Structure 1
Amino acid sequence: MSSLLTQKTKLTATDLPKMDIFYSVLLGAGLTAAFFFFKFPHFLQDCRYIMSMLWVGSKREKFRERNYTLLDSFLDRVQKQPHKSFIVFGDEVHSYLQVDQESNKVARALQAHSGSTMALMLGNEPAMVWILMGLFKINCAVSLLNTNIRAKSLLHCFNCCTSSVLIAGAEYREVVCDVLPELQAKRVCVYVLGDDGGVEGLHNLAEKIERQPNTPVPPSLRENISMNSPALYIYTSGTTGLPKAGLVLHSRLINSSLFLSMLGVKSDDVLYIPLPLYHAAGLQIGLAGAIELGITVVLRRKFSTSQFWKDCRKHDVTAFQYIGETMRYLCNTPETDNDRQHKVRLAIGNGLRADVWHDFQRRFGPLEITEFYAASDGNISFVNYIGKVGAVGRVNFFHKKVFPYALIQFDAEREEPARNNKGHCVPVPTGETGLLVVKITKVAPFAGYAGNPEQTEKKRLRDVFQPGDVYLNTGDLLKIDHSNFIYFQDRVGDTFRWKGENVATTEVADVLGMLDFIEDANVYGVKIPGHEGRVGMAAVTLKENLEFDCREAFNHVTGVLPVYARPRFIRVLESMELTGTFKQVKVKLVKEGFDPKVVPPPLYVLHESSRSYVPLTQTYYSSIVGGEIRF
């Protein structure tokens, strides 16, 4: 026994120097790791994001090689999980197979229009999904009309894509009838998804679809579709004063379907989409992403604060899409005892203010919020994969290598990028706001706008950093802090954002100019405390010897413009300030805002209950900025 103890003691004594070296190395490694992660606290998340980008890149290459479209992805899901719930709408539940069968009936009903471009004016409903899939089955490109547009804007949007067919929801029959003579003059075939009301020139598509068999149409009808074929036209406001039709190729549509996975949605999630499907967020990211993942979508016709959590609880929603305003609306509802009784784990969207972010998580639970930056006519996206409150993304060296971008100085007075003495753009220092420009490459293409080569070229910024290079001018002002987080600041040019919509100031100005007493109108957006984006305001000059007619202005604005585009405030100027190149000066007007102490009368506010514009008093102004009156 003593010999064994001696042997054990000798072994321990012999190993001591080795153990000292081992623990010294271990301690050194630990200290090095601690310093590294102190210096680079988000290293692991950055690496994880790079891995997800590599996965997306691999999938995109496979899609391209196989000429694989969103329709192919949908049909694969039908084969793999035919009876899984795909679309839930109120008490209706439609499986992947049922949606496929309905889309077959749509394809058969509209087969005579195979290969054409069709315009859809449909709200969020299951029929929107199977009509879209049905049109893809007969090689049709689809123009997605904003359901808020009317008259001149509607005709413009319809015409710029050379559409030959218009399909409208039953609730938009009167809207279509207003422009029916112009459509008939162009021999456009007009369908209504319901009763045509006996109106000559309208056709009941619902009745026609119902008569068709649900068997598949021949695949040969779509054999000419390639990744470079037009899939969608999604409209965005721009400096022309009328919406522009952003071209979405089949390659972009199927590639967009991968974005939902990058945002954290998983194959067992149930996704709630209260955003309109005519927008890129609702369709390209939400619906297309759901198809790629094979998940269930709970579709809501329109966002409702009173029904939001009821829907989430009823359908076991685990993820939802938002815009910043919708989150604020939810936070403004009265608190209840069951605010945290839900299964939602993830919210994805953009435009969420930092204060609302905190309030939402405090009240409804510590669910994950993933902000992102993207645009329907853009060629880059950012993802806030860290969860930094207020940020839309993060600088990642690999991401920047694949999608070269920069923030450059923007001249607000001249409303154009600033250039140095060599004629090149100037990057802004870290921490300062700059215009986001993205290099146009094969990986980050810019398809442009349908039927609008001038606006397409206007978005291209040339000789940015060296002769011959071409970047996309996003029109967005962003900021990158010293920790490499990216923050959205504002929009530039002739658009501003309100209620989740981009408002074209020149379109609103044109509408105001139709009033007999207005000589000129300068439209811009102004900030209101506690609201996302900017609300519309107009500065107008009057024709000689005429006065501003408050009631006529109200009737005209509310009758022509959608709610989000109506100027809430109107001030009257003696003369309009112009630049040396005869451009209207907005900077000073935006800075003055709508404070009666700053803005001399006449100054008016749109007042719905009076059905008129009324003078803006200091008391009313205080109620607005104090949050007592909300828009």
Structure 2
Amino acid sequence: MAGLGSVLPSGLVAPKLLSWLTGLGAGMVFLSLMQKLLYPYFWNDLWYLLKVVRCGFQLEMYKLKGELVTVLDKFLTQAKKQPQKPFIIYEGAIYTYQDVDRRSNSVAHVFLNHSTLKRGDTVALLMSNEPDFIHTWFGLAKLGCVVAFINSNIRSASLLHCIRSCEPRALVVGADLLGIIQEILPSLPEDLSIWGMNDSVPQGIISLKQKLSTVSDSQVPRGYHVTSNLQAPYLYIFTSGTTGLPKPAVITQLQALKSSAGLWAFGCTSNDVIYITLPLYHSAGSLLGIGGCVELGATCVLKKKFSASQFWNDCKKYNVTVFQYIGELCRYLCKQPKREGEKDHRVRLAVGNGLRSDVWREFLDRFGNIKMCELYGATEGNICFMNHTGKIGSVGRANFFHKLFFTFALIKYDFQKDEPIRNEQGWCSHVKKGEPGLLISRVNAKNPFFGYAGNKKHTEKKLLCNVFKKGDVYLNTGDLMVQDQENFLYFWDRIGDTFRWKGENVATTEVAAVIGMLDFIQEANVYGVAVPDYEGKAGMASITLKPNKSLDLEKVYEQAVTFLPAYACPRFLRIQEKMEMTGTFKLQKFQLVEEGFSPLKISDPLYFMDNLKKSYILLTKEIYDQIISGEIRL
């Protein structure tokens, strides 16, 4: 091909080339400006897509090779690749990948030698955050058993319900929890073998700790746990049960693999030290946290229980670079007294969910430039969102790339009937952008819903059929979301935590945030209570006070009427000494809703909103009777 110089006179080559390059440069600048104006998040979205594609590609490559790799297989690879690298740091003690591998081998050998457990059997695990939680989990997984994580905070009937509902062949109990098992021991199934992680155990319980000292720590043959189906159950993880008794969600090998890629997707590496204070019996701590460390080959600093006062000291002591959070955890840290050197740490990333915008901003302002990686996903859900752009308050962004993998919708919801709104033809309707709607996710072969173990009715209740057309099936997440004009998604509230009053929908999180701004209030838990002869529910706020602070009822009244719509102002106040929490730091509401606002049933101080006195006044039996009879109108 003839060169440019042979076609044009030599004197014109440079000007023409310069003109061409200038035009090309101008065009690229124009396209860049247009992209930033019209598609400002294109590159963020594309990068997120490439990460998702990479995960899917890896799974397909394993299939083509004729092998299905699980989280356990990845752990065994890490133990072989870097045996001396610290995997778990707990209370100053270091457990290397090799240590955890050998200890979990011993657990597997105990059950091989001293039980009748076989592949596919379920074993319940009731243990606090400690290394033996992971040793037992991995050891049982090496036998091909399904492990059911039991919430270590529940007691009595709820605990008995959880154990029965997953139908285990064995139960392993941590040393510090043997006492609560003794309380229900006579009610447990006779064929259930109970193992305690302690030398001294009550009658009827086998000492797993004693047996561990008598068995080999040699490798367990892979044939015990090798899988031919990634949709086989791997774990049962119980939902928190804020609206009833906990239910065991089925976690498949595939779900565990996807969750373990979460830290990597947000930019974590094998060099990171990840601080986990969340309970391991929930998916955030176990699947995203421990599974994420396995995926990366990283080190985990495990804490028995979250401590706001020790948090930053631990981060400095162990050179933590990443921590897991839920919104309440960050809020507790912001409530701590300010100290010098609060930005003197190596933390660069925080991964979690439920972080309010105001707490988000306060946290960054106070503790430094930490990238907050917010995400959304339910334990049993078939959809997740990841905030890969860093937009404050958002759980993620719906984009073209995202829709290639997940089909979801935000639909209109009737809060009075507690069900989706359907038109005359029986179809559901999409909400407009900026309006809260119920998040539903399409259930199909690509995004299946595995539901709950045991009672099939629990699984069926989570599904919506014939939503937009005949035969379609969607998962009802139970979460209300808002999508803005830029397609960012924001968590709005739980359906059960939202009530209707005076024809309006009241978001409990919004009311709690307003009430919680008062400097004498430690916690505010808002919910709706039924009042005879009224439609909907009247707002009630249960609050705790800060130490050495007194309640100012006039200020509470002023705060409510100033910053809240009239229909959202709590009609009742309840003063508690301590808030009951779920294992994921969510405020427990179910019992409070059931107890209502009767001074005859509740020993805590109760107050009623009096608009004439512009204050909250003591809710006496006389006032209560007048409300019930209708003499006092709400």
**TM-score, structure 2 as length reference:** 0.80
Instruction: State the shift of 1:14 in Å.
Output: 5.8
> Which of the residues 486, 505, 512 maps onto 1:527?
512
Q: Does residue 173 of structure 1 match 2:163?
A: no
Q: Is the 8 A contact 1:87 1:298 kept in 2?
A: yes
Distance of 1:491 and 1:314 partners within structure 2: 38
Instruction: State the shift of 1:620 in Å.
Output: 14
Mark the CA change 1:599 to 1:336 in structure 2 (over 3 Å): closer, same or farther. Answer: closer
Instruction: State the shift of 1:537 in Å.
Output: 5.0
Q: Does residue 154 of structure 1 match 2:159?
A: yes
Counterpart for residue 55 of structure 1? 54
Counterpart for residue 26 of structure 2? 27
Q: Does residue 350 of structure 1 match 2:335?
A: no
Q: Does residue 41 of structure 1 match 2:26?
A: no
Q: Is the 8 A contact 1:290 1:296 kept in 2?
A: yes
Instruction: State the shift of 1:223 in Å.
Output: 4.4
Instruction: State the shift of 1:538 in Å.
Output: 7.1
Q: Does residue 188 of structure 1 match 2:173?
A: no
> Which of the residues 116, 123, 126 maps onto 1:121?
126
Counterpart for residue 517 of structure 1? none
Instruction: State the shift of 1:288 in Å.
Output: 0.5
Could you say what secondary structure the match of 1:479 adopts?
strand
Q: Is the 8 A contact 1:122 1:147 kept in 2?
A: yes
Q: Does residue 606 of structure 1 match 2:555?
A: no
> Which of the residues 120, 130, 136 maps onto 2:141?
136
The AA in structure 1 aligned to 2:525 is V
Counterpart for residue 249 of structure 2? 246
Distance of 1:172 and 1:146 partners within structure 2: 11
Instruction: State the shift of 1:536 in Å.
Output: 6.0
Unmatched runs of 5 consecutive residues or more in structure 1:
1-9, 498-523, 541-572, 578-584, 624-631
Q: Does residue 589 of structure 1 match 2:538?
A: yes
The AA in structure 1 aligned to 2:606 is P
Q: How many residues align?
A: 542
Distance of 1:374 and 1:284 partners within structure 2: 12
Q: How does 1:44-83 map to 2 (within 5 A)?
A: 44-64=43-63, 65-83=66-84
Counterpart for residue 488 of structure 2? 485
Counterpart for residue 565 of structure 1? none
Q: Is the 8 A contact 1:448 1:456 kept in 2?
A: yes
The AA in structure 2 aligned to 1:365 is G
Mark the CA change 1:14 to 1:470 in structure 2 (over 3 Å): closer, same or farther. Answer: closer
Counterpart for residue 616 of structure 1? 607
Distance of 2:249 and 2:384 partners within structure 1: 16
> Which of the residues 256, 261, 281 maps onto 1:258?
261
Instruction: State the shift of 1:443 in Å.
Output: 2.2
Unmatched runs of 5 consecutive residues or more in structure 2:
1-8, 500-507, 544-552, 558-568, 580-601, 618-634
Distance of 1:95 and 1:227 partners within structure 2: 28
- Give CA deviations for 1:575-631 in whole Å, capped at 9, x if unaligned: 375xxxxxxx6x432389999977778x6433459x9412337799989xxxxxxxx
The AA in structure 1 aligned to 2:604 is Y
Mark the CA change 1:535 to 1:239 in structure 2 (over 3 Å): closer, same or farther. Answer: closer
Instruction: State the shift of 1:237 in Å.
Output: 4.0
The AA in structure 2 aligned to 1:54 is V
- Give CA deviations for 1:185-205 in whole Å, capped at 9, x if unaligned: 4321111111444x3212221
RMSD: 2.9
Instruction: State the shift of 1:29 in Å.
Output: 3.1
Q: Is the 8 A contact 1:103 1:133 kept in 2?
A: yes
Mark the CA change 1:373 to 1:311 in structure 2 (over 3 Å): closer, same or farther. Answer: same
Q: How does 1:308-347 map to 2 (within 5 A)?
A: 308-347=311-350
Mark the CA change 1:413 to 1:229 in structure 2 (over 3 Å): closer, same or farther. Answer: same
Distance of 1:265 and 1:122 partners within structure 2: 28
Mark the CA change 1:607 to 1:474 in structure 2 (over 3 Å): closer, same or farther. Answer: same
**TM-score, structure 1 as length reference:** 0.80
Distance of 2:317 and 2:389 partners within structure 1: 30
Distance of 1:92 and 1:622 partners within structure 2: 52
- Give CA deviations for 1:372-396 in whole Å, capped at 9, x if unaligned: 0011010011011000000000112
Q: Is the 8 A contact 2:571 2:608 kept in 1?
A: no
The AA in structure 2 aligned to 1:23 is T
- Give CA deviations for 1:210-237 in whole Å, capped at 9, x if unaligned: 2222112333333466423211100114
Could you say what secondary structure the match of 2:245 adopts?
coil
Mark the CA change 1:534 to 1:257 in structure 2 (over 3 Å): closer, same or farther. Answer: farther
Could you say what secondary structure the match of 1:143 adopts?
strand
- Give CA deviations for 1:230-256 in whole Å, capped at 9, x if unaligned: 111001145872111100112211222
Q: Is the 8 A contact 1:196 1:203 kept in 2?
A: no
Q: How does 1:426-575 map to 2 (within 5 A)?
A: 426-493=429-496, 527-529=512-514, 530=516, 535=525, 539=529, 575=532
Q: How does 1:209-228 map to 2 (within 5 A)?
A: 209-223=212-226, 226-228=229-231
Distance of 2:424 and 2:338 partners within structure 1: 58
Distance of 2:577 and 2:339 partners within structure 1: 32
Distance of 2:513 and 2:45 partners within structure 1: 36
Mark the CA change 1:374 to 1:622 in structure 2 (over 3 Å): closer, same or farther. Answer: farther
Mark the CA change 1:332 to 1:223 in structure 2 (over 3 Å): closer, same or farther. Answer: closer
